[in-house]
Amino acid sequence: MLTKSIHLLLMFIFVTPMVKAQYEFKFQSNLTFLDENGEPLPLAFTGGINSAQLQEFDSNNNGEEELIIWDINSETIKVFEKSGASYRYLPGGNYMFPEDVNAFLILVDFDGDGKKDLFTGSPFGIKAYRNVSNQGSTIPTWEVAQNFLRLENGSNLTTNILDIPLIEDLDNDGDLDVLTFNFASGDFLEYYQNTSMERKGTADIDQFKASQNHWGNFEFCDCGDISFGFSCDGTPITNARISTDNLKTLHSGGHSLLYKDLDRDGIKDLLMGRDECNSLYFLSNKGTNTEPIFNTISTQIPEFGPLPQFPIFHAGYVLDESLIVSSHSSATAYTYTIDFAKALYRLSPEQESDASLFLKEEMLDFGENSRPFFVGNQYTGELYIAANTKVGDEIQGRIWAYELRDNQARLISSNYLNIGELNLTEPSYQRYTTKDNQTYHIVTGDYYENNVPEKKIYLSTISNPENRTELILPSLILRGLDQVHFFHDERDDYLLLARQTGELLLFSFNPNNGYGLELLNNDFLDFIDNPVARNLSVAVQSGASPFLMAINQQGILYALEDFMKETERVQVSINMGETPFEASRFGRNTSITFVPNLLGEGFDLILGNRAGGLEYLSQLDDGGTEPGATTEIVLFPNPTHGQEFKIVINRAAKLNIYSTSGALIMEDIDLVKNQENLINGHNLPSGLYMLEILNDANERHYKKLIVSP
């Protein structure tokens, strides 16, 4: 009997799976980025913006509308709280809206309940969500109202996936109508009248009339060429109003539409963009809001001046009294030489100067596909950001270097390692230290020859960074968004190849023998070629039990502990205050770098993305106060001006003081419970310090202390 019990106990021990650590993060950072003049960037960790669609919406139910930006290029949603003439970033916008937002995001109340609802693109046309948020909710709640808008005959109301349709009350009867360019040729506007008020006497979106062709009585023939009263082939519009069923698909393009009174004559005007054109086009309305008459085209607006121009596809929005003009391109920067770092402008009425950048000068925005790499800890170190940026008349890969000290980041180089001379795009950077303590610069990027990209991998020593050796992966053709990452365990050095197609390849790496590489596993950790999980990116903490984090185009972060022995993936969760999310939601081409804690285990994350910016994630329950701890600590004054400071604690404890470099400055200082413990800080130079407090229950707590000059 005893033997059987022991056997069952042993089975339980060996069969029961190990409990994996949980990884939970929040959008929070105490790090301040300074611009070239030493001034703080208030929107540093916004994440960048490439192609903005602007809406206004009360996202947190506080009675005030925030600015909502849907970036169609990076597939992210950003929320900004208005504060006078400035904006404050509210992170986590992707978590406030449905996961399947696509193509366009339009927020407008369709049922008259005072809460704005949501329209977005779908494979079937226009999908609608009803806002069902409760009065006290801080995150909006949505339910599907219509999977696609329907016509009277039951068919779907078709729109081009690249269009931003106009959804508003065009006939002034109290319900929302739809205006969009025709699906087949994209050269004239179709008007879809909502019939809910006529049928039911209440506003709804359950049925629309068949399209009325050539709303506005014009055709869009080409960039800068609009034909008024006649079709592009010279046929009078009255004769050209045929059913779209008979049209062949020609240019189905993409278009943007804005219908607002822009010249301040009391009548709404039309502002249009088209995908291949380098400007918006202004059509002044000489008729009425419901029966418009257009007969002129211009690339400037009397009240705002010349419209900004950039290579391809624009969209316009009215925000307060200003006109906002943004890129609306989903293309890459290289394809059309788009400067995404400068593709969002504000035009003020009757302004004396040219259009100014909107939001961009207050954030970190390096252009496109930012890939960060960090060396150091949360309080001191170096941050490197590789990205595509516009230099002169071309798109080049560059690396920016920042120095982090005392919770501030200062730019030290905008062309680190001078990689501009390599003529690369899609750059990445890693500073890799081998198991034998040899440190190398690793630079990768795409080199174009005859418009065909070839991925390059360069290695150089710290002492001679511009003497680069090109690494060749055996028997492989590298793709444009393939990324490499070096790491080591206690025995060997390795290279990981995260592929554009979703698989992960493991190579051995021998830095002491001609930088030899050997393929060990081409479906490592069960990351395989997967059409829905492309553009894989990874980061690794080297060591005896290396730790890996991975993300793909689905935007879900995974952690893998001791992954050379284990293959289990742990999904990273995001804390949004009252509402935790078990899975992360990040945009296209997200990349990861670790920001280790100063003491003990744990780390934060800095993320790069398609929009060329950065986001910061702070890990929860990682050492600030251990879960379940009951210790209360008061530290004052903080900052201290080179004098004594005091600690009040409700349990007996020991105090250790560390510099931001991790050096132990003072140790084993006794703290008596329930009284003011006076600590002599006269000998501490000005700067940031970490206080480690170990109480009599072996609970560790950490506090930051600032010593001012």
Q: Does residue 451 carry a pLDDT above 60? A: yes
User: What tokens appear for 173 in the block?
Assistant: 């009867």
- What's the confidence (pLDDT) of residue 379? 84
Please compute Rg for the chain using Cα positions. Answer: 29
Q: What percent of the chain has pLDDT above 70?
A: 93
Q: Does residue 112 carry a pLDDT above 70? A: yes
Q: How far apart, in whole angstroms, are the C-alpha atoms of residue 616 and residue 630? A: 29
**Residue that is written with structure tokens 């993936």 in the block:** 569
Q: How far apart, in whole angstroms, are the C-alpha atoms of residue 168 and residue 172? A: 9
- What's the confidence (pLDDT) of residue 623? 38
Q: Does residue 435 carry a pLDDT above 60? A: yes
- Residue 96 — φ and ψ, nearest 5°? -95, -5
Q: Does residue 705 carry a pLDDT above 50? A: yes
Q: How far apart, in whole angstroms, are the C-alpha atoms of residue 572 and residue 551? A: 10
- What's the confidence (pLDDT) of residue 641? 81
pLDDT in tens, 339-381: 999 999 999 987 656 789 999 999 999 999 999 999 999 888 9
pTM: 0.88
Cis bond upstream, residue 639 (ω within 30): yes
7 band by pLDDT with thresholds 50, 70 and 90: very low
Average pLDDT value for the chain: 90
Bridge partners of 142? 131
- What's the confidence (pLDDT) of residue 239? 77
Q: 253: which DSSP letter?
A: -
Nearest to 394 by CA among 481, 334, 331: 334
Whether residue 210 contacts residue 242, with contact meaning beta carbons closer than 8 Å, is answered with no
Q: Does residue 246 carry a pLDDT above 80? A: no
Q: How far apart, in whole angstroms, are the C-alpha atoms of residue 369 and residue 672? A: 52
Quote the distance between the C-alpha of residue 537 and its chain's center.
Answer: 15
Q: Does residue 537 carry a pLDDT above 50? A: yes
Q: Does residue 292 carry a pLDDT above 80? A: yes
**Residue that is written with structure tokens 């670790």 in the block:** 594
Strand 452-461 relative to strand 469-470, pairing = antiparallel
Whether residue 488 contacts residue 434, with contact meaning beta carbons closer than 8 Å, is answered with yes
**Residue that is written with structure tokens 């050209």 in the block:** 240
When comparing pLDDT for 659 and 299, which is higher? 299
Q: How far apart, in whole angstroms, are the C-alpha atoms of residue 18 and residue 545? A: 15
Nearest to 417 by CA among 373, 476, 482: 373
Q: Does residue 207 carry a pLDDT above 70? A: yes
* CB-based contacts of 259, cutoff 8 Å, min separation 6: 166, 168, 170, 179, 268, 269, 270, 271
pLDDT in tens, 115-152: 999 999 999 999 999 999 998 888 999 999 999 999 99
- What's the confidence (pLDDT) of residue 479? 86
Q: Where are the alpha helices (DSSP H) in 236-296?
A: 237-240
Q: Does residue 15 carry a pLDDT above 50? A: no
3-state secondary structure of 198: helix
pLDDT in tens, 456-515: 999 999 999 999 999 999 888 898 889 999 999 999 999 999 999 999 999 999 999 899
- What's the confidence (pLDDT) of residue 351? 67
| AA identity, residue 244 | T
Concatenating the DSSP letter of every residue in 398-412 gives: EEEEEEEETTEEEEE
pLDDT in tens, 615-633: 999 998 643 334 344 678 9
